[in-house]
Amino acid sequence: MAEPTTAPVPSDHIMGVYARAPLAFERGEGSRLYTTDGEAYLDCMAGIAVTALGHNHPKLVQAVKDQAEKLWHTSNIFRIPNQEKLAKLLTDNTFADVAFFTNSGAEAIECAIKTARKYHWANGQPERIDIIGFDGSFHGRTIATIFAAGNPSYVEGFGPALPGFVQAKFGDLEGLRALVGPTTAAILLEPVQGEGGARSWTETQLKAIRQLCDETGTLLIYDEIQCGLGRTGKLFAYEWADGAADPDIMAVAKALGGGFPVGACLATAEAARGMTPGSHGSTYGGNPLAMAVGVASVEELVKPELLAHVREVAGYFNQQLSGLKDRFPEVVLDIRGKGLLIGIKLGTPNREFMQIARDQHLLIAGGGDNCVRLLPPLTLSLDEAREAMGLLEKACEVAQAKAAQEKAGAA
C-alpha cells in the first residue's frame, strides 16, 4: 500500500487560499499606497471597495485613537451608545427601522437570511425557507453564503448543496417569477454585481422584482456590501429607483468601516419581527471600537458634496473608457457597472491585464466574466482619475502589443 503523502508547509505559514500579488504595502495616503521599498501606486481598488474615504483619512484615524484610549469591548450584554448612534444614522438615511451589527459582509448576509426565514416562521409559514439568488452573485465565503450564490468554483469540495437555496438567471424576470412558490422566503440580489463582472440591474427590473415580492409575500434582500455607501453616486444603489424598489432587508459592510471590520444587516421593523431576544447574536459585532469608526465613516459618506463628486468622477471615467474601448477594441470589449463600481470586460486574460496595470503602478481588481474592476476611493480627485486613465491606456497598449506578438507567433 502506498505511503500517505504529507502536504508541504508554506514558508510563510499562511493557509494557501490566496493567490497574492508580489507586493507588500506599509502605508497609504489618500489614493496612494506605498510599498515597503518606498514605491508609490495609484490605488483604484481601495481594498476591494473598502477604503472608500481613502487611506489614512484623518477623521477615521482620530476616531480610532480616541476610542482606543477609552474602551474596546464589552459585548452586547450591555448598551453601546455609538451602536445606537450608528443605527440611527443608517436608518435615518435608508428604508430601514432597525440594524444588527456584524464584523463582516458575510455575517450581515447570514443575518439577512435568518431574518427572512424567521419572519415567515413568525407569521405561521415555517415552510417558507427558500432564498432565490442569481448566477454571478457573490455574498461571502461562509457555507450558507456560498450556496446562496451558487458559484460552482466556490462550492466545489464543500459537501452537498444546502437545502433552501435556489438559483435564477441574472436578468431573467420571467424565469424568476416561475421560481417563486409557496416555499419561497426571499429574493436575494446585488443591485450592481461586483465579483460577477459589474453587471447592473436596471431600475425597471428592480421595480418589477419589488412588485413580484409584494404580490407573493416574498421578502426582498439587497446585498449592497460592495455597491452601497456612496459607490454608485447615491448613498445606496437601490435609491436610483426613486423609492419604488426599496428592500425589506439589506446587508452592508466594506465602506462602513473604511477598512475597519464592520458590517450591518438593516431591516424594516416588520421584516425583523421574528428576530426576538436569543434568536441571533455576535460576540464582537457592534463593539465600541468598530462603532466609533463606523459613525465617523458614515458621517462623511452621507455628505451630498461627496456623492456629487462620485457622480462627477464616474462621468469622467465613463466618457474616457468609452474612448479607450474605441481605440483598443480587441483589449476592451465592454464597459459595465454604475458610479465608481466600474467593470471592464477584456479580450486579454484579466489576471494578465492586472499584472500589466501593476507594472504601470496602477492597482485594479479582478472580476468574473473576464472583467477587471475600477473601485477607487470615492475621494479620488479628477486629476487622479486622469492619471488613472493615462496608466490604463499604457496598460492597453502593452496588452495589445503582446496579443499581436502572440498572434504573429502562432501564425
pLDDT digits (tens, 9 = 90+) for 4-25: 778 889 888 999 998 889 899 9
Query: Rounded to whole angstroms, how far apart are CA atoms 297 and 306?
Result: 12
Write down the pLDDT at residue 402: 92
Query: Rounded to whole angstroms, how far apart are CA atoms 121 and 132?
Result: 17
Active-site residue identified among 101, 138, 147, 328? 138
Active-site residue identified among 43, 130, 223, 246? 223
Query: Rounded to whole angstroms, how far apart are CA atoms 42 and 362?
Result: 5
Residue 397 pLDDT level (bands cut at 50, 70, 90): very high
Q: Provide φ and ψ at 200, rounded to 5°.
A: -110, 140
Q: How large is the average pLDDT for residues 34-58? A: 97
Does 138 participate in catalysis according to the annotation? yes
Q: How large is the average pLDDT for residues 269-278? A: 97
Q: Is the pLDDT of residue 48 over 90?
A: yes
> Strands, E, within 135-293: which ranges?
165-168, 184-189, 219-223, 249-252, 263-267
Q: What's CA 314's distance to the chain center, in Å?
A: 17
Query: Rounded to whole angstroms, how far apart are CA atoms 223 and 189?
Result: 6
Active-site residue identified among 135, 170, 246, 254? 254
Residue 82 pLDDT level (bands cut at 50, 70, 90): very high
Other beta carbons less than 10 A from residue 326's beta carbon: 9
Query: Rounded to whole angstroms, how far apart are CA atoms 371 and 336?
Result: 9
Q: What is the rounded end-to-end Cα distance, in angstroms, of the chain? A: 49
Closest of 300, 341, 288 to residue 68, by C-alpha: 288
Residue 91 pLDDT level (bands cut at 50, 70, 90): very high
Mean pLDDT across the chain: 96
Bridge partners of 267, per DSSP, are: 98, 249
pLDDT tens for 148-184 read 999 998 999 999 999 999 999 999 999 999 999 999 9
Query: Rounded to whole angstroms, how far apart are CA atoms 327 and 80?
Result: 55
Task: Give SS3 for 365.
Answer: strand
